[in-house]
Structure 1
Amino acid sequence: MSRAGRIRLVAVAILVLALEVACRAGWVDPVAVIAPSLMVQGAWRLLASGKYTGDMLLTLSNVAIACSLAVVSGFAGGWLLYALPRLRRAADPLLASYYAVPTFIFYPLFIVLFGLNRWPLVAIGFIFAVVAMALNTLQGFERVPRVLRRTARAMRLSTRQEMLQVVFPSCAPYLFTGLKLAIVYSFIGVIAGEFVLSGDGFGFEIAFAYNSFDNATMYGLMILLLGFVGGLNSILYSWERRLYLRRGGR
Protein backbone atom coordinates (compact mmCIF):
# COMPACT_ATOMS: atom_id res chain seq x y z
CA MET A 1 0.00 0.00 0.00
CA SER A 2 1.27 3.47 -0.88
CA ARG A 3 1.88 6.20 1.69
CA ALA A 4 -1.19 8.11 0.47
CA GLY A 5 -3.30 4.96 0.84
CA ARG A 6 -2.09 4.45 4.41
CA ILE A 7 -2.91 8.06 5.25
CA ARG A 8 -6.42 7.67 3.83
CA LEU A 9 -6.92 4.46 5.79
CA VAL A 10 -5.81 6.08 9.04
CA ALA A 11 -8.02 9.12 8.41
CA VAL A 12 -11.08 6.92 7.79
CA ALA A 13 -10.32 4.86 10.91
CA ILE A 14 -10.07 8.03 13.02
CA LEU A 15 -13.38 9.34 11.67
CA VAL A 16 -15.13 6.01 12.33
CA LEU A 17 -13.69 5.88 15.86
CA ALA A 18 -14.80 9.46 16.52
CA LEU A 19 -18.34 8.64 15.35
CA GLU A 20 -18.36 5.54 17.56
CA VAL A 21 -17.35 7.58 20.61
CA ALA A 22 -19.87 10.34 19.84
CA CYS A 23 -22.72 7.84 19.46
CA ARG A 24 -21.79 5.87 22.57
CA ALA A 25 -21.48 9.06 24.61
CA GLY A 26 -24.93 10.24 23.54
CA TRP A 27 -23.66 13.30 21.67
CA VAL A 28 -25.53 12.15 18.56
CA ASP A 29 -29.25 11.40 18.51
CA PRO A 30 -29.64 7.62 17.91
CA VAL A 31 -32.79 8.34 15.88
CA ALA A 32 -30.53 9.93 13.27
CA VAL A 33 -27.28 7.93 13.46
CA ILE A 34 -26.26 4.80 15.35
CA ALA A 35 -22.76 3.68 16.26
CA PRO A 36 -20.69 2.09 13.45
CA SER A 37 -20.34 -1.10 15.50
CA LEU A 38 -24.14 -1.40 15.60
CA MET A 39 -24.25 -0.83 11.83
CA VAL A 40 -21.86 -3.72 11.31
CA GLN A 41 -23.85 -5.91 13.70
CA GLY A 42 -27.02 -5.07 11.79
CA ALA A 43 -25.37 -5.97 8.48
CA TRP A 44 -24.18 -9.30 9.89
CA ARG A 45 -27.65 -10.14 11.23
CA LEU A 46 -29.18 -9.36 7.85
CA LEU A 47 -26.73 -11.67 6.11
CA ALA A 48 -27.24 -14.43 8.66
CA SER A 49 -31.04 -14.23 8.54
CA GLY A 50 -31.24 -14.38 4.74
CA LYS A 51 -34.38 -12.27 4.89
CA TYR A 52 -33.20 -9.80 2.27
CA THR A 53 -31.27 -12.19 0.04
CA GLY A 54 -33.94 -12.09 -2.66
CA ASP A 55 -33.99 -8.29 -2.72
CA MET A 56 -30.20 -8.15 -2.88
CA LEU A 57 -30.00 -10.63 -5.74
CA LEU A 58 -32.75 -8.77 -7.61
CA THR A 59 -30.91 -5.46 -7.34
CA LEU A 60 -27.53 -6.94 -8.24
CA SER A 61 -28.98 -8.73 -11.27
CA ASN A 62 -30.66 -5.50 -12.43
CA VAL A 63 -27.38 -3.63 -12.04
CA ALA A 64 -25.48 -6.37 -13.88
CA ILE A 65 -27.89 -6.25 -16.82
CA ALA A 66 -27.92 -2.44 -16.97
CA CYS A 67 -24.13 -2.21 -16.70
CA SER A 68 -23.51 -4.91 -19.33
CA LEU A 69 -25.84 -3.22 -21.81
CA ALA A 70 -24.30 0.19 -21.04
CA VAL A 71 -20.73 -1.03 -21.52
CA VAL A 72 -21.46 -2.75 -24.83
CA SER A 73 -23.65 0.05 -26.18
CA GLY A 74 -21.39 2.79 -24.83
CA PHE A 75 -18.31 1.25 -26.41
CA ALA A 76 -20.09 0.94 -29.75
CA GLY A 77 -21.43 4.49 -29.46
CA GLY A 78 -18.02 5.90 -28.58
CA TRP A 79 -16.44 4.15 -31.53
CA LEU A 80 -19.14 5.51 -33.87
CA LEU A 81 -18.62 9.03 -32.56
CA TYR A 82 -14.90 8.66 -33.23
CA ALA A 83 -15.36 7.13 -36.68
CA LEU A 84 -18.04 9.63 -37.78
CA PRO A 85 -16.93 13.21 -36.98
CA ARG A 86 -20.17 14.68 -38.33
CA LEU A 87 -22.18 12.52 -35.95
CA ARG A 88 -20.00 13.69 -33.09
CA ARG A 89 -20.48 17.36 -33.96
CA ALA A 90 -24.24 16.81 -34.09
CA ALA A 91 -24.26 14.95 -30.77
CA ASP A 92 -21.94 17.32 -28.87
CA PRO A 93 -24.73 19.59 -27.48
CA LEU A 94 -26.69 16.56 -26.29
CA LEU A 95 -23.66 14.94 -24.67
CA ALA A 96 -22.65 18.20 -22.97
CA SER A 97 -26.04 18.57 -21.27
CA TYR A 98 -26.97 14.90 -20.90
CA TYR A 99 -26.61 14.60 -17.13
CA ALA A 100 -28.53 17.85 -16.57
CA VAL A 101 -31.73 16.01 -17.56
CA PRO A 102 -33.53 14.21 -14.67
CA THR A 103 -33.74 10.73 -16.14
CA PHE A 104 -36.46 9.61 -13.71
CA ILE A 105 -39.00 11.59 -15.74
CA PHE A 106 -38.79 8.78 -18.29
CA TYR A 107 -39.96 6.14 -15.79
CA PRO A 108 -43.68 6.39 -16.79
CA LEU A 109 -42.62 5.98 -20.42
CA PHE A 110 -40.55 2.91 -19.53
CA ILE A 111 -43.55 1.43 -17.69
CA VAL A 112 -45.65 1.86 -20.82
CA LEU A 113 -42.92 0.30 -22.96
CA PHE A 114 -41.80 -2.55 -20.66
CA GLY A 115 -44.60 -2.99 -18.11
CA LEU A 116 -44.51 -3.11 -14.29
CA ASN A 117 -41.43 -5.30 -13.89
CA ARG A 118 -37.67 -4.99 -13.52
CA TRP A 119 -37.02 -3.57 -16.97
CA PRO A 120 -37.94 0.08 -16.27
CA LEU A 121 -35.30 0.08 -13.50
CA VAL A 122 -32.79 -1.58 -15.80
CA ALA A 123 -33.54 1.09 -18.41
CA ILE A 124 -32.91 3.87 -15.88
CA GLY A 125 -29.59 2.31 -14.87
CA PHE A 126 -28.68 1.90 -18.53
CA ILE A 127 -29.34 5.50 -19.56
CA PHE A 128 -27.42 6.68 -16.49
CA ALA A 129 -24.32 4.67 -17.42
CA VAL A 130 -24.19 4.45 -21.21
CA VAL A 131 -23.03 8.01 -21.91
CA ALA A 132 -20.18 7.80 -19.39
CA MET A 133 -18.89 4.70 -21.16
CA ALA A 134 -19.33 6.29 -24.60
CA LEU A 135 -17.48 9.48 -23.67
CA ASN A 136 -14.54 7.62 -22.14
CA THR A 137 -14.36 5.32 -25.15
CA LEU A 138 -14.31 8.35 -27.44
CA GLN A 139 -11.53 9.97 -25.41
CA GLY A 140 -9.56 6.73 -25.42
CA PHE A 141 -9.66 6.43 -29.22
CA GLU A 142 -8.73 10.10 -29.60
CA ARG A 143 -5.74 9.80 -27.25
CA VAL A 144 -4.06 6.93 -29.12
CA PRO A 145 -0.73 8.43 -30.28
CA ARG A 146 -0.50 8.80 -34.03
CA VAL A 147 2.99 7.34 -33.99
CA LEU A 148 1.57 4.03 -32.78
CA ARG A 149 -0.90 3.92 -35.65
CA ARG A 150 1.84 4.80 -38.15
CA THR A 151 4.04 2.08 -36.67
CA ALA A 152 1.21 -0.44 -37.03
CA ARG A 153 0.77 0.50 -40.69
CA ALA A 154 4.54 0.35 -41.26
CA MET A 155 4.56 -3.17 -39.85
CA ARG A 156 1.63 -4.03 -42.14
CA LEU A 157 -0.67 -5.12 -39.35
CA SER A 158 -4.22 -5.96 -40.31
CA THR A 159 -7.08 -3.86 -38.96
CA ARG A 160 -7.89 -6.55 -36.41
CA GLN A 161 -4.25 -6.83 -35.29
CA GLU A 162 -3.95 -3.05 -35.02
CA MET A 163 -7.05 -2.84 -32.85
CA LEU A 164 -6.06 -5.71 -30.56
CA GLN A 165 -2.33 -5.05 -30.28
CA VAL A 166 -2.09 -1.26 -30.57
CA VAL A 167 -5.37 0.64 -30.12
CA PHE A 168 -6.99 -1.27 -27.25
CA PRO A 169 -3.83 -1.44 -25.06
CA SER A 170 -3.25 2.28 -25.64
CA CYS A 171 -6.78 3.37 -24.71
CA ALA A 172 -7.16 0.79 -21.91
CA PRO A 173 -6.97 3.43 -19.10
CA TYR A 174 -9.95 5.30 -20.56
CA LEU A 175 -11.90 2.08 -21.12
CA PHE A 176 -11.31 1.05 -17.51
CA THR A 177 -12.45 4.47 -16.34
CA GLY A 178 -15.59 4.13 -18.45
CA LEU A 179 -16.21 0.65 -17.02
CA LYS A 180 -15.86 1.86 -13.43
CA LEU A 181 -18.14 4.83 -14.07
CA ALA A 182 -20.68 2.56 -15.78
CA ILE A 183 -20.78 0.31 -12.72
CA VAL A 184 -21.21 3.25 -10.34
CA TYR A 185 -23.87 4.95 -12.46
CA SER A 186 -25.75 1.67 -12.92
CA PHE A 187 -25.88 1.24 -9.15
CA ILE A 188 -27.01 4.84 -8.71
CA GLY A 189 -29.77 4.53 -11.30
CA VAL A 190 -31.12 1.19 -10.11
CA ILE A 191 -30.88 1.90 -6.36
CA ALA A 192 -32.40 5.37 -6.70
CA GLY A 193 -35.17 3.97 -8.88
CA GLU A 194 -35.94 1.29 -6.28
CA PHE A 195 -35.82 3.89 -3.55
CA VAL A 196 -38.68 5.97 -4.95
CA LEU A 197 -40.41 3.90 -7.62
CA SER A 198 -40.19 0.19 -6.81
CA GLY A 199 -41.82 -2.29 -4.44
CA ASP A 200 -38.79 -4.52 -3.88
CA GLY A 201 -35.03 -4.53 -4.11
CA PHE A 202 -32.16 -3.04 -2.12
CA GLY A 203 -33.31 0.56 -2.48
CA PHE A 204 -36.90 -0.22 -1.52
CA GLU A 205 -35.84 -2.05 1.65
CA ILE A 206 -33.57 0.84 2.67
CA ALA A 207 -36.42 3.33 2.14
CA PHE A 208 -38.87 1.09 4.03
CA ALA A 209 -36.48 0.76 6.98
CA TYR A 210 -35.96 4.54 6.96
CA ASN A 211 -39.69 5.23 7.05
CA SER A 212 -40.06 2.66 9.85
CA PHE A 213 -37.25 4.22 11.93
CA ASP A 214 -35.45 0.86 11.81
CA ASN A 215 -31.94 2.27 11.86
CA ALA A 216 -30.21 -1.06 12.42
CA THR A 217 -31.72 -2.50 9.24
CA MET A 218 -31.29 0.69 7.22
CA TYR A 219 -27.64 1.19 8.09
CA GLY A 220 -26.98 -2.55 7.86
CA LEU A 221 -28.27 -2.60 4.30
CA MET A 222 -26.23 0.49 3.49
CA ILE A 223 -23.07 -1.14 4.90
CA LEU A 224 -23.68 -4.24 2.77
CA LEU A 225 -24.24 -2.11 -0.32
CA LEU A 226 -21.14 0.00 0.27
CA GLY A 227 -19.09 -3.12 1.00
CA PHE A 228 -20.14 -4.79 -2.21
CA VAL A 229 -19.55 -1.73 -4.40
CA GLY A 230 -16.23 -1.01 -2.68
CA GLY A 231 -15.10 -4.62 -3.09
CA LEU A 232 -16.04 -4.60 -6.75
CA ASN A 233 -14.13 -1.38 -7.33
CA SER A 234 -11.12 -2.82 -5.50
CA ILE A 235 -11.13 -5.85 -7.79
CA LEU A 236 -11.28 -3.60 -10.85
CA TYR A 237 -8.50 -1.42 -9.46
CA SER A 238 -6.27 -4.46 -8.88
CA TRP A 239 -6.97 -5.73 -12.38
CA GLU A 240 -6.25 -2.29 -13.86
CA ARG A 241 -3.02 -2.00 -11.87
CA ARG A 242 -1.79 -5.38 -13.08
CA LEU A 243 -2.50 -4.33 -16.65
CA TYR A 244 -0.48 -1.14 -16.21
CA LEU A 245 2.41 -3.04 -14.64
CA ARG A 246 2.47 -5.45 -17.58
CA ARG A 247 2.74 -2.43 -19.87
CA GLY A 248 5.59 -1.05 -17.78
CA GLY A 249 3.54 1.87 -16.49
CA ARG A 250 2.53 3.06 -13.05
Structure 2
Amino acid sequence: MTPPRLSSGRAGLVDRYRAMLRVRAFELLLLELWEDGLISGELHLGTGEEAVAAGVAEHLRDGDALALDHRPTPLMLLRGVDPVLMVREMLGRRDGLCAGMGGHMHLFAREELAASSGIVGSSAPLGCGFALAAARLRPGSVAVATLGEGAMNQGMVMEALNLAAVWTLPLVVVCKDNGWAITTESRAVTAGELPARAEALGVPARTVDGGDPGEVSLEVGALIGSARKGQGPGFVLARCPRLDGHMAGFL
Protein backbone atom coordinates (compact mmCIF):
# COMPACT_ATOMS: atom_id res chain seq x y z
CA MET A 1 0.00 0.00 0.00
CA THR A 2 1.36 3.42 -0.94
CA PRO A 3 1.38 5.94 1.94
CA PRO A 4 -0.70 9.07 1.36
CA ARG A 5 1.24 11.79 -0.44
CA LEU A 6 2.06 14.72 1.78
CA SER A 7 0.79 18.19 1.10
CA SER A 8 3.20 21.04 0.43
CA GLY A 9 3.97 24.01 2.68
CA ARG A 10 2.48 24.23 6.16
CA ALA A 11 0.09 21.36 5.50
CA GLY A 12 3.06 19.14 4.62
CA LEU A 13 4.73 19.97 7.92
CA VAL A 14 1.57 19.00 9.77
CA ASP A 15 1.37 15.74 7.82
CA ARG A 16 4.95 14.85 8.73
CA TYR A 17 4.36 15.70 12.38
CA ARG A 18 1.21 13.57 12.35
CA ALA A 19 3.21 10.65 10.92
CA MET A 20 5.83 11.04 13.64
CA LEU A 21 3.20 11.17 16.38
CA ARG A 22 1.52 8.08 14.98
CA VAL A 23 4.78 6.16 15.14
CA ARG A 24 5.54 7.31 18.69
CA ALA A 25 2.02 6.52 19.92
CA PHE A 26 2.11 3.04 18.39
CA GLU A 27 5.48 2.24 19.91
CA LEU A 28 4.42 3.53 23.33
CA LEU A 29 1.58 1.01 23.14
CA LEU A 30 4.10 -1.73 22.35
CA LEU A 31 6.24 -0.64 25.29
CA GLU A 32 3.24 -0.82 27.61
CA LEU A 33 2.47 -4.34 26.42
CA TRP A 34 6.11 -5.32 26.96
CA GLU A 35 6.17 -3.84 30.46
CA ASP A 36 3.01 -5.80 31.27
CA GLY A 37 4.79 -9.00 30.21
CA LEU A 38 2.56 -9.59 27.19
CA ILE A 39 5.39 -9.21 24.66
CA SER A 40 8.20 -11.67 25.32
CA GLY A 41 11.92 -11.15 24.86
CA GLU A 42 13.64 -7.98 23.72
CA LEU A 43 11.86 -4.96 22.28
CA HIS A 44 13.78 -2.51 20.09
CA LEU A 45 11.88 0.72 19.47
CA GLY A 46 12.57 3.52 17.02
CA THR A 47 12.42 6.29 19.63
CA GLY A 48 14.24 9.28 18.15
CA GLU A 49 14.03 7.90 14.61
CA GLU A 50 10.46 8.97 13.85
CA ALA A 51 11.54 11.83 11.59
CA VAL A 52 13.64 9.49 9.47
CA ALA A 53 10.68 7.16 8.96
CA ALA A 54 8.40 10.06 8.06
CA GLY A 55 10.89 11.53 5.59
CA VAL A 56 11.48 8.20 3.86
CA ALA A 57 7.90 6.91 3.77
CA GLU A 58 6.49 9.82 1.79
CA HIS A 59 8.60 8.86 -1.24
CA LEU A 60 7.54 5.20 -1.40
CA ARG A 61 5.25 3.92 -4.14
CA ASP A 62 3.52 0.64 -4.87
CA GLY A 63 6.19 -1.79 -6.04
CA ASP A 64 8.92 -0.32 -3.85
CA ALA A 65 10.47 -2.59 -1.22
CA LEU A 66 11.76 -2.11 2.32
CA ALA A 67 14.62 -4.08 3.88
CA LEU A 68 14.52 -3.08 7.54
CA ASP A 69 16.72 -3.55 10.58
CA HIS A 70 15.77 -4.62 14.11
CA ARG A 71 13.70 -1.45 14.64
CA PRO A 72 11.17 -2.02 11.85
CA THR A 73 7.87 -0.79 13.26
CA PRO A 74 8.12 2.93 12.30
CA LEU A 75 8.50 2.32 8.57
CA MET A 76 6.27 -0.75 8.62
CA LEU A 77 3.50 1.37 10.11
CA LEU A 78 3.95 4.30 7.72
CA ARG A 79 4.23 1.92 4.77
CA GLY A 80 0.69 0.80 5.49
CA VAL A 81 1.21 -2.52 7.27
CA ASP A 82 -1.82 -3.29 9.44
CA PRO A 83 -0.93 -2.27 13.03
CA VAL A 84 -3.38 -4.79 14.46
CA LEU A 85 -1.55 -7.60 12.66
CA MET A 86 1.76 -6.30 13.99
CA VAL A 87 0.51 -6.20 17.57
CA ARG A 88 -0.91 -9.70 17.27
CA GLU A 89 2.44 -10.86 15.90
CA MET A 90 4.36 -9.41 18.83
CA LEU A 91 1.94 -11.09 21.20
CA GLY A 92 2.84 -14.40 19.56
CA ARG A 93 -0.63 -15.05 18.19
CA ARG A 94 -1.33 -17.30 15.23
CA ASP A 95 -3.43 -14.57 13.64
CA GLY A 96 -0.45 -12.20 13.67
CA LEU A 97 1.40 -10.83 10.67
CA CYS A 98 3.72 -13.85 10.54
CA ALA A 99 1.56 -16.34 12.45
CA GLY A 100 3.28 -15.40 15.70
CA MET A 101 6.66 -16.75 14.57
CA GLY A 102 8.50 -13.51 13.78
CA GLY A 103 8.15 -11.44 16.91
CA HIS A 104 9.03 -7.76 16.63
CA MET A 105 12.35 -8.06 14.76
CA HIS A 106 11.60 -10.59 12.03
CA LEU A 107 8.54 -9.20 10.28
CA PHE A 108 7.41 -9.75 6.71
CA ALA A 109 4.53 -8.03 4.95
CA ARG A 110 4.06 -9.55 1.51
CA GLU A 111 1.64 -7.00 0.08
CA GLU A 112 3.74 -4.04 1.20
CA LEU A 113 7.05 -5.70 0.17
CA ALA A 114 8.55 -5.02 3.60
CA ALA A 115 10.80 -7.35 5.58
CA SER A 116 12.99 -6.97 8.65
CA SER A 117 15.72 -8.94 10.40
CA GLY A 118 17.43 -8.86 13.77
CA ILE A 119 20.75 -9.86 12.20
CA VAL A 120 22.84 -6.68 12.29
CA GLY A 121 23.71 -5.50 8.79
CA SER A 122 21.62 -8.09 6.96
CA SER A 123 19.24 -5.45 5.63
CA ALA A 124 21.91 -4.27 3.17
CA PRO A 125 22.26 -7.53 1.19
CA LEU A 126 18.52 -8.08 1.52
CA GLY A 127 18.05 -4.63 0.04
CA CYS A 128 20.30 -5.60 -2.87
CA GLY A 129 18.06 -8.55 -3.58
CA PHE A 130 14.95 -6.39 -3.42
CA ALA A 131 16.62 -3.81 -5.69
CA LEU A 132 17.66 -6.45 -8.22
CA ALA A 133 14.09 -7.76 -8.32
CA ALA A 134 12.82 -4.21 -8.75
CA ALA A 135 15.18 -3.56 -11.66
CA ARG A 136 14.28 -6.83 -13.40
CA LEU A 137 10.57 -7.11 -12.63
CA ARG A 138 9.33 -3.61 -11.79
CA PRO A 139 11.41 -1.00 -13.63
CA GLY A 140 11.09 2.37 -11.96
CA SER A 141 10.71 0.83 -8.51
CA VAL A 142 13.32 1.09 -5.77
CA ALA A 143 14.41 -0.61 -2.57
CA VAL A 144 15.28 1.16 0.68
CA ALA A 145 17.45 -0.53 3.29
CA THR A 146 17.79 0.79 6.84
CA LEU A 147 20.48 0.05 9.39
CA GLY A 148 22.31 1.60 12.32
CA GLU A 149 25.83 3.04 12.29
CA GLY A 150 27.09 0.01 14.21
CA ALA A 151 26.12 -2.19 11.27
CA MET A 152 28.47 -0.24 9.00
CA ASN A 153 31.36 -2.23 10.50
CA GLN A 154 29.82 -5.50 9.30
CA GLY A 155 31.51 -6.79 6.17
CA MET A 156 28.28 -7.66 4.41
CA VAL A 157 27.22 -4.01 4.38
CA MET A 158 30.24 -2.94 2.34
CA GLU A 159 29.84 -6.00 0.12
CA ALA A 160 26.23 -5.00 -0.53
CA LEU A 161 27.14 -1.38 -1.30
CA ASN A 162 29.83 -2.59 -3.69
CA LEU A 163 27.45 -4.94 -5.49
CA ALA A 164 24.78 -2.24 -5.70
CA ALA A 165 27.31 0.10 -7.29
CA VAL A 166 28.67 -2.48 -9.74
CA TRP A 167 25.19 -3.54 -10.86
CA THR A 168 23.74 0.00 -10.71
CA LEU A 169 20.94 -1.22 -8.47
CA PRO A 170 18.04 1.06 -7.45
CA LEU A 171 18.92 0.85 -3.75
CA VAL A 172 19.01 3.65 -1.17
CA VAL A 173 20.69 2.76 2.12
CA VAL A 174 19.60 4.85 5.11
CA CYS A 175 21.98 4.68 8.06
CA LYS A 176 20.53 5.92 11.35
CA ASP A 177 23.40 7.14 13.54
CA ASN A 178 22.59 7.79 17.20
CA GLY A 179 26.23 7.68 18.26
CA TRP A 180 26.00 4.42 20.20
CA ALA A 181 26.28 0.74 19.25
CA ILE A 182 24.32 -0.83 22.11
CA THR A 183 26.49 0.41 25.04
CA THR A 184 29.63 1.30 23.07
CA GLU A 185 30.21 4.81 21.81
CA SER A 186 30.39 4.47 18.03
CA ARG A 187 33.39 6.75 17.56
CA ALA A 188 35.42 4.41 19.78
CA VAL A 189 35.08 1.56 17.29
CA THR A 190 34.63 3.29 13.94
CA ALA A 191 37.35 4.93 11.84
CA GLY A 192 36.69 7.73 9.38
CA GLU A 193 33.43 9.17 8.14
CA LEU A 194 30.72 6.72 7.13
CA PRO A 195 29.53 8.62 4.01
CA ALA A 196 33.11 8.44 2.68
CA ARG A 197 32.86 4.64 2.60
CA ALA A 198 29.97 4.85 0.16
CA GLU A 199 31.60 7.62 -1.85
CA ALA A 200 34.74 5.49 -2.26
CA LEU A 201 32.57 3.06 -4.23
CA GLY A 202 31.11 5.83 -6.36
CA VAL A 203 27.84 5.85 -4.41
CA PRO A 204 26.42 9.36 -3.82
CA ALA A 205 26.18 10.05 -0.09
CA ARG A 206 24.35 12.64 1.97
CA THR A 207 24.38 13.54 5.67
CA VAL A 208 21.15 14.84 7.23
CA ASP A 209 19.68 15.86 10.55
CA GLY A 210 17.71 12.76 11.54
CA GLY A 211 15.41 14.88 13.67
CA ASP A 212 14.26 17.00 10.73
CA PRO A 213 11.76 15.12 8.54
CA GLY A 214 11.90 17.84 5.89
CA GLU A 215 15.66 17.56 5.49
CA VAL A 216 15.45 13.76 5.45
CA SER A 217 12.72 13.93 2.82
CA LEU A 218 14.68 16.32 0.61
CA GLU A 219 17.87 14.27 0.45
CA VAL A 220 16.30 10.80 0.48
CA GLY A 221 13.81 11.92 -2.15
CA ALA A 222 16.59 13.10 -4.44
CA LEU A 223 18.45 9.79 -4.18
CA ILE A 224 15.28 7.75 -4.65
CA GLY A 225 14.46 9.84 -7.71
CA SER A 226 17.88 9.10 -9.21
CA ALA A 227 17.53 5.39 -8.43
CA ARG A 228 14.15 5.29 -10.18
CA LYS A 229 15.82 6.65 -13.31
CA GLY A 230 18.38 3.85 -13.33
CA GLN A 231 21.22 5.99 -11.99
CA GLY A 232 22.22 3.56 -9.27
CA PRO A 233 22.32 3.45 -5.48
CA GLY A 234 22.58 6.17 -2.85
CA PHE A 235 23.52 6.43 0.82
CA VAL A 236 22.12 8.67 3.55
CA LEU A 237 23.58 9.13 7.02
CA ALA A 238 20.87 10.44 9.36
CA ARG A 239 22.20 11.69 12.68
CA CYS A 240 19.51 10.84 15.24
CA PRO A 241 19.21 11.69 18.93
CA ARG A 242 19.48 8.77 21.33
CA LEU A 243 16.39 9.33 23.43
CA ASP A 244 16.19 5.88 24.99
CA GLY A 245 18.30 2.82 25.69
CA HIS A 246 19.28 0.27 23.07
CA MET A 247 16.16 -1.73 23.88
CA ALA A 248 13.29 -1.67 26.32
CA GLY A 249 14.55 -1.92 29.88
CA PHE A 250 17.91 -0.27 29.15
CA LEU A 251 18.72 3.08 30.76
Q: Same fold (TM over 0.5)?
A: no
Tell me the TM-score normalized by structure 1.
Answer: 0.27
Higher strand fraction: Structure 1 or Structure 2? 2
Q: Between Structure 1 and Structure 2, whose CA radius of gyration is higher?
A: 1
Tell me the TM-score normalized by structure 2.
Answer: 0.27
Higher helix fraction: Structure 1 or Structure 2? 1
Bigger relative contact order (CA 8 A; separation at least 6): 1
